[in-house]
Amino acid sequence: MPFAQIYMIEGRTIEQKRAVIEKVTQAIVEAVGAPKESVRVWIHDMPKENWGIAGVSFKDLGR
């Protein structure tokens, strides 16, 4: 059972998340030949203050 974990900064719409799940699933099916029904995708919605670049959080960077 292929399992993909996707980390994204919060703020994506439900439609965007649906598209990610659909496209990642299809990519796994095509790449490894797994049945679509066996593919799992987990999106981690990360708060901006929990992610940083060069020692500064995304929130503090204004991103």
The one-letter amino acid at 58: F
C-beta separation of 6 from 27 below 8 A: no
35 is catalytic: no
Q: Which of 1, 2, 29, 36 is catalytic?
A: 2
Distance from C-alpha of 31 to C-alpha of 42, rounded to nearest angstrom: 18
Which residues belong to the active site?
2
